[in-house]
Amino acid sequence: MGLPGDTTYGITNKTYYNDRALSTYYALVMAAVVFLFLIACDAIIQSSIIEIVTTTLLNFALFFYSIVQWYQAKHITSSQDTDVQQLVDYFLMVSNRPEFRLHSWQAAEVAVIIFMGCACAAWCYLTYRLYYVFGWSQFKELGADVGMRAQLKIYHIYMMLLKVDVFFSLGFSIQYIFLVTRGPFATPTGHATTVHAGVAIPLNTALLLLGYLAVSREHNWLLVTFLVSLAACMGYMISKLVDIAQHAGTDTESPDGVSKYTGAEFSLTFFEVITLLLIATTFAVAVLNFRNFGKGLLGEIRDNRKGPS
């Protein structure tokens, strides 16, 4: 397929960026399945009800994303230039090969949606069963002290949120780098890609590490810094949502009919909304953990790690 700006054989910029967007979506789905598998394994090893429930929610998120992916792919391919299909038909006729239709893998995408729907139902049942299996392990860890049990639950929920934040924040950043900063309106020098890849991703990773250290060590100033940074992140995500809403659709000033977010509107919006909700939830749970500082939680966690004496 041609390079951006190459209209040889009728292949336009819009076709190029749409095709690249589809490849990014499929890579994200595969990465999500691997992440889900790792979280499920950790939940079994740790006998963690919180992680089991989280995997159930992630299954539903992946199910809805598979629908978004199918809709986005359908939207992209329905708007592809007919010249591309004519070019494919010509080469197939010359080479005497069977007919091939663009995006012939739609049936596979529907199968993925059905499979994920069945997986959600099955995992709900497993969650229900494992809740009772892991109940005794959780009771032994949390103990009979109602106040301490509540603190430990909030602590574990917070740590689980940080793990999920890592995936969704990286998923958004990767899409933004490949589909926007290197997209139709990318600068020739590529400074936006360099800044986002070299600054935003490491800074985001460092921020989540800061959140982990702040709560695991009950460090007041670290947690205050983390909360302020989360508030800034929420403002950033909201600004990106507004930017997508303003630039979504076709840019009439572009001869190829492309916009800043060509091929990326639906997926980026999905990831931004989920990430924004996760950041807000992480902020709220971090505040709850802040209120529990100095109440003996660290000592209880250390005792649980040592095991019975």
**Each residue of 117-147: pLDDT tens digit?**
998 999 899 888 888 777 666 666 555 566 7
Q: Does 174 lie in the same domain as 198?
A: yes
Q: Does 211 lie in the same domain as 98?
A: no
Q: Does 124 lie in the same domain as 234?
A: no
Q: What is the pTM of this model?
A: 0.74
- pLDDT, greater one: 150 or 13: 150
Q: Does 291 lie in the same domain as 250?
A: yes
- pLDDT, greater one: 100 or 243: 243
Q: Does 182 lie in the same domain as 36?
A: no
Return the pLDDT at 87: 46
Q: Does 21 lie in the same domain as 3?
A: yes
Q: Does 129 lie in the same domain as 106?
A: yes
Contact 204/236 with Cβ under 8 angstroms? Answer: no
Point out the least confidently predicted range of 23-27, 108-112, 172-176, 250-254: 250-254
Residue 71 has pLDDT above 80, yes or no: no
Supply 220's token pair: 């007041």
Helix ranges (H only) for the chain are: 13-46, 49-78, 82-94, 106-133, 135-142, 146-176, 191-195, 201-216, 220-247, 265-291, 297-306
- pLDDT, greater one: 301 or 69: 69
Smallest CA-to-CA distance from 39 within 114, 116, 127 is with: 127
Q: Does 24 lie in the same domain as 129?
A: yes
Exposed e or buried b per residue across 149-182, where buried means at least 16 C-beta atoms within 10 angstroms of its C-beta: bebbebbbbbbbbbbbbebbbbbbbbbbbbbbbb
Overall number of domains in the chain: 2
Q: Which of 142, 168, 187 is the last residue of a domain?
A: 142
Return the pLDDT at 2: 40
Q: Does 167 lie in the same domain as 221?
A: yes
Supply 6's token pair: 């190459």
Return the pLDDT at 144: 59
Q: Does 164 lie in the same domain as 300?
A: yes
Q: Does 151 lie in the same domain as 37?
A: no
Q: Which of 142, 173, 196 is the last residue of a domain?
A: 142
Give the range of the structural domain holding residue 78, as residue numbers without chain letter: 1-142
Could you tell me the pLDDT band of residue 188, with boundaries at 50, 70 and 90? Answer: very low
pLDDT tens, residue by residue, 242-267: 887 776 655 554 545 556 666 677 77
Q: Does 100 lie in the same domain as 160?
A: no
Q: Which of 142, 161, 190 is the last residue of a domain?
A: 142
